[in-house]
Structure formats: C-alpha cells, structure tokens
Amino acid sequence: MSEKTKRTWSYLQPPAVYGLPPCGCGNTEVQWSEYVGHLWCEKCQKDFVPAHSGIFDGPIPAQLAGLMGMRFDRVILETGKIERFDVDTGQYKAAAS
C-alpha cells in the first residue's frame, strides 16, 4: 500500500471502541489517522496500518453493536458536520443542529 488516500470522514468514537488493535508501542488510545486504513499513534507520532480491523472485518450487526454502546455516527472532516447513522435504514443523515 504505497499510496495513501485522505479520509473525508471519520467515526466520532475512537478506534478501540470498534475493537481495532493498539499501536505496537502499547498505546491503546490511538486515533483515526487522516489516511484511510490507517490509525494515528500520538506517542509515536506516526500513522500505522492496524493488524486487523476489529468489528469491520466481519459483517457488522449494527443493531447489536448499538446495544453494546457503539455508534457509527461520523464527522465530515471538511465541514465538521455530524451525520447520524440510522440503524433501521442503514443510512447516514445530517444531524439536526
């Protein structure tokens, strides 16, 4: 993977919530990298590709995930606008501000 693609949105909750692994340095509080498929370690000051994708490796049981406290709401990075994920329809829609 030589070419990095910039993320246009990211989930509101941090990667660990979705079962993504920590950085190799042991830091579990990693963030979404600005690049797709990468995470960001504040301690190492680097982007890295996680060993696996947590719950995203399988089909996501969205309603079950919701019961477990996961949210798939996201923020559009360019505008800072929040979009809510509707588990019933599987669609995103702009949050009422």
The answer to whether residue 64 forms part of the interface with Zn ion (CB under 5 A) is no
- DSSP secondary structure code for residue 12 in this structure: S
Minimum distance between the CB of residue 11 and Zn ion, rounded to whole angstroms? 20
DSSP state of 17: G
Interacting stretch for Zn ion, rule CB under 5 A, among 18-26, 50-58, 77-85, 89-97?
Answer: 18-26
Q: 71: which DSSP letter? A: -
Q: Which residue in 5, 6, 8, 27 binds Zn ion (CB under 5 A)? A: 27
**63 is an interface residue for Zn ion by CB under 5 A:** no
Q: Name the DSSP letter for residue 65.
A: H
Three-state DSSP class for residue 32: strand
- According to the binding rule CB under 5 A, does residue 25 interact with Zn ion? yes
